[in-house]
Structure 1
Amino acid sequence: MESLRFARADDGVTIGYQMFGQGPVLVWMPSLSNIVAQWRIPALRDAYLGLARSLTVILYDGRGTGSSDRRIDLDDLGVEAHLRDLRAVLDHAGVQRASLLGYYHSVATALAFAARSPARVDRLVLFGGAARMREAMIPAQTQALLSLVDQDWGLFADAAATAWLGWDSAPSGRWTAEAFRTATSAAVARAWFDAAERIDVTEELARVRVPSLIVHRQGEGQIPAEVSRRLAASLPDARLVERPGSTPTLFMEDAEDDLRLVTAFVTGLPQSEPAVSGALTPREREVLALLAAGGSNGEIARDLGIAVHTVERHLGNVYRKIGARGRTDAVVYALRMTENRHGA
């Protein structure tokens, strides 16, 4: 494990961080974190070391969590406080420009920093969050888990590691639960989540001009794919990649592919177009045809006699199989296929 360094935010809060690797700088921004404990999780340790082969990686614990100051103002956990933490770490590390990996809670903070400090941001990689954070917290499973924060902090940690994030294999699940449990107290976690529901940086999205990669891999029980698609559509220079699998995290399911995707994007290396991973089913072809005809998700659902969430699931499969970044790419693909058939 890398040694800890400590930065001090403008309001006096001490922020613990680590810096290691070589190459362009990537700051992996925190949600509820404990970077010391996270090194004991094999998949995360492999991810840190894998990224460090080509990148200089910065990890840090947000205020009130992990190795950072636990004595904080619980009424000051909005985006401004999180921006103070990020600026403190960058300044202390002597980093003028970096790419940011916004992960769950920190997605909105990464977006706000890119909008307000464009000269300090090279690229954004965003996973698991939203500009309006309550959109990422709507699913019933998430709300049920959050209700455990006040009732039983230990049970919340166990449930979050397994049911929520999918770390169900021992010892990874046990170590992930321990990282959650030791990240902070129930009171601070409740304040973090309550503040998150009020974070909304949607009005700043038009000013985010840096290349952005939005990665989505969630089942229907977690963040809906439509949340990531709306975010990608709202950014001037964004690419959406919907990764196969159902585990709502990066670098655990298809870890090597995730590492290649993120590393290539941050380093600016050419990326080959995603290969088609399977033929479209008859229903997926029907959905794609109706999409190309201009149908909304609701209209497609009505025409096919299926639920809207089923349409979203089919579209997610279509995007993944044809390597589309969103609706526009899928429509272009459908039109190209039509032209090819007519020309054959």
Structure 2
Amino acid sequence: MPYLRQEDYERMLGLAVAVLESRRPETVWRLIAQELLRTLDGSVLLMKDEEWTPSSGTVSAWLRDASAPVEPAGATAGLVRSGYPFATHYGRHTDREPRTAAQLAGDRAWRHSGTASALRESFGTRHMLGLPLPGGDDGAVRGFIVHRDGADFDARDLDYAARVQPLLAAAAAQCRLLGGLRGTGGPEPEPELVTGGLTPRETAVLHTLAEGLPATAMARRLGVSVRTVHKHLQNLYRKLGTADRLGTVLRAQEAGLLPSVPPSAPAGRPR
């Protein structure tokens, strides 16, 4: 029977903290894309947050470690919008359990389908995992499709996808809330860097670092070991080109990764 590792739960918690600390919808989507692609060993993530037709609708395709999505063009975009075999299944049923393309269409039928051939040519991938979002008052099917080459998604991948679904639904609601604040003339969220290569866990550690918490308190907040905190701190120092906590917080503020604070406010405790 498959089971998730402690690391999987730690990553989910780190993603949740990073999403709650984010101030822009595009940053939330980037964090989600990076986390799903890394945890599920995917190479392409398709995001569906609106109704598509075979000829219209924006398709967001995230590549691994990319800072922004791209949109497939031509025939590939049409096949993606048609949603085979997920659109038929999730559109006709209330079931929102994550499924692979081979599970829904049958392994042979999927491998010989036009969609599978086009995706192999466009993305170099062979397998797809559908991860729909639960809920939705308007009846629309929203969610993600993870693509990868090599072996198909296994029972452990499906277990992780099912457990992360509520978090993804909450993150999508957070994105709609942040977008609504912009549309209603509310205060514009402070700029936030959408590049830089920080993982969701590193982003969460960065925000706790800005609060001036010692490593033990950071570990308790994030539900990880002190050793794991120090590992992420070293990654932050390397990626931001800094050598200590205070320098890291100041550099992150300059880059837009953290909101600015008044000069009199403490940016963080010394190392």
TM-score normalised by L of structure 1? 0.27
Q: Which has the higher strand share?
A: 1
**Higher relative contact order, chain-length normalized (CA < 8 Å, sep 6+):** 2
TM-score, scaled relative to structure 2:
0.32
